[in-house]
Structures are given as structure tokens and as C-alpha cells.
Structure 1
Amino acid sequence: MSLTEMTIPDFQTIIDDFSFLDDWEERYKYIIDLGGQLAPLSDEELTDTNKVRGCASQVWLTFDDVDGGILKFRGESDAHIVKGLIALLIALYDGQTKADAARIDPKAELAKLDLQDHITPQRSNGLVSMIERIRAQTSA
């Protein structure tokens, strides 16, 4: 079991937790806390190959080969809120078969958190870039 499996709640739990938070300041803190639970990538993983283009912050995603076509990935960013967004994507996609992950509608799922109205356009564009990188991996 990886560190992310032990610490990042599933996506439905995150949705439920959001419903108990009264304002966006608390929700931002929650997202940042989720990101703080991610295991850091090693220096060897912080490569140009793993870097996600289109993000205002530095973002790296690594994908692990797992038998059975299960999507496993980890991520890192130099921005706390972006690490939290990576954690949200891990909660949404990690552990899914590639086929199931390819059927996820990330826009609809993330809309359940009302993120689109509460993150900057640059963060939103970066989130789209991360999703595109994950989706490319599910079709590989």
C-alpha cells in the first residue's frame, strides 16, 4: 500500500467533507492539507519528462506500472494549493483501471466541489493540463 492510499481519502469523502466546511477559506485549507499528505517525489523523479506543461506552478506527475492496467500515480508541486489539486486528482483517478479512469468525466466530478468559481484561471488551466496528462496515460 502506497502512502497516498493510506492518507488521501476517496473522492466521495472529499465531497462530503466539503459540504461540512462553511466557507472557501476553510475549503482552501482542506485542499492544502490534502496536498501536504502527499509523499514527495525524489530528485530523480523531478525531471523534464515528468513535468506537466501548461501549469503556472512547477508540477510533476509520475506514473507507476501496475499489473492489470491499474492507474497509479504520484505528484509534486512547488505551490501548496496545486499539491492539493494533485491530491484531488489522485483521489479521483488513482487505483482505477485505465478503462474506468478513461470513463471519468473530471469536469463533472470536480464541479461537485465548485472549484471552477474559486480557483484562479491559471490554476484552472494547470488543472486541465494535469487532467490531460492523466488521460493520456489512461489511453497509453
Structure 2
Amino acid sequence: MWSQIASLGDAHCYVLGGGLAISLAMMESGCLKPKIFVEFHLQNDANALLRNRESDVQINFGLRSSDQPECIVVVDKVYSGGSLRLAAERMSKLYPAARVIKVGLFPKSLEGVESCDYVVFGGALLDVSYFDGRSGGPWHYALWRKANQ
């Protein structure tokens, strides 16, 4: 699964809250592509999505400011998808020519799934860009069936 995520793009962005451990797992699987770490302080901040995001943290490894990756994969654990969306927006602003793919790990809500292009669920990487979790019963059952096809 980690090698599948690695193959999606030529640079990876991780949200630091859960991303450091994820990036280490990716490195262990052989993914040595450039990495960008970002951090957004969303917890316990009712105005977090309205604040100026420039003060949040960003650290680049192996990616110079002059580099223009074709595709950046943003990876994060997904609850509501808020931090994943913010990270994707930041990558789009910093690298306007790059395609940005959002990969959510272990989604906890349908809103989180809907904010992703791919999710890791049931031990599989699933393309959810066309997933309709509002039909056919509970969304997590539908994802489980998709993971076990």
C-alpha cells in the first residue's frame, strides 16, 4: 500500500500531526521522494479556518524553492478533512503548475472521505474520487466492500 501511495506523485506533503510516522513508513518502503511537512493548528480554535495561514509551519526536505513538481501527494489522517484540504490549498498556491492529490488515511467520517481523492481503508488504497457514500447503506460498509473486491 505504501508503494502505491508513493507511485501517485513525485513529491509528498505530510501534515505533521500524524505525518511524521507516515513519512517514516513511506521511507521504510523505499519512497525517498522529496517531502514537505506542514502543520496547521486546528484543534480548539473555532476560527482556525478563517485565520491567516502564513504563520503555520512548513519544512521542505529534498525540494528546492526553484523545483516545480508535476504532482504532489498530500497525505494525512482524516477526520473531517480540514487539515488535508488546507495542506492541498497551500501546495496549490506554492506550486501552481502541480497537480495535487489528496490521500486520507483511516477516514473517520463521510465528510473526510469526500474531501479525498484516495483513502486507505481496510488495508487497501481506494480511489474515492467517484465514491458515493450516501447511497447503499452506511458509507464505511461501502468502503469495506470496495476494499475487498
When the two structures are superposed, what TM-score results if normalisation uses the length of structure 2? 0.27
Greater helix content:
1
Greater strand content:
2
Higher relative contact order (CA 8 A, sep 6+): 1
Higher Cα Rg: structure 1 or 2? Answer: 2
When the two structures are superposed, what TM-score results if normalisation uses the length of structure 1? 0.28
